[in-house]
Structure 1
Amino acid sequence: MALKKSFSKDGKTCKVTFTVTAEAAQGAESISIAGDFNSWSSTATPLTKKRDGSFSVQIPLEVGKEYQFRYLLDGSRWENDWNADKYIPAPFSSTDNSVVVCSK
């Protein structure tokens, strides 16, 4: 898993590419991402499957904020990003949420 960030020239937007490696996908047929940026919708932001078995999606986010998120594999299994910027306790479960920090 990986997070790749690129900042707009005006410094207001951070395009984050969220990637789930083939190893982390563990044979999943579909993966979506749910988080603060899409009202925790488990269907609004699907990742695109690549030929090598990895998945990715690019999401523009506002600079200066932190966003919690998790991946949903095959509509039934929640996973964190192994390379998130940090983790914080999830408010409604005993697990942690991944966090991406959008600052330079």
Structure 2
Amino acid sequence: MIKRNKLFGNLTRITFCLPRDIPPGAVSVVGCFNDWEPGRHELVARRDGTRTVTVRLRPGVYRFRYLATGGVWLDDDTADRVDERGCTLVL
């Protein structure tokens, strides 16, 4: 799930959220906003049974995917668009 919150100026806070154990192991959100660098934005377990990570982005079009342990790629069906190349957010 993706949550969006407008901030002052032209920034938007984007929170990426997955269930705590699905998929098992570490999961990072990787995309054009972090040069597709695994581990840079790793999701962290929360008390409510989820794991999340938050980034702040300026207006634009951003591509991303989740990367889980073992090289497993996942898409987020709550993105603005999901295609054969992954997920897209439009801010």
TM range (shorter): 0.7 to 0.9
Structure 1: tracts of 5 or more residues without a match: 91-96
Paired residues, what number? 91
Does 1:4 pair with 2:7? no
Please identify the structure whose Cα radius of gyration is greater: 1
Q: CA deviation at 1:51?
A: 3.6
Q: CA deviation at 1:101?
A: 1.4
Q: For 1:82 and 1:54, how far apart are their aligned partners in 2?
A: 17
- Aligned counterpart, 2:90: 101
Two-structure CA RMSD over aligned residues (Å): 1.7
SS at match of 1:37: helix
Query: How do 1:9-88 and structure 2 match up within 5 A?
Result: 9-10=8-9, 12-22=10-20, 25-26=22-23, 28-63=24-59, 65-88=60-83
Structure 2: tracts of 5 or more residues without a match: none
Q: CA deviation at 1:84?
A: 0.9
* 1:27-61 Cα shifts (integer Å, max 9, x gaps): x1211011010001112111102245421111000
Contact 2:32–2:63 (8 Å) recurs in 1: yes
* TM-score, normalised relative to structure 2: 0.87
Aligned residues with identical type, % of pairs: 27
Q: Which runs of 4+ in 1 moved over 3 A?
A: none
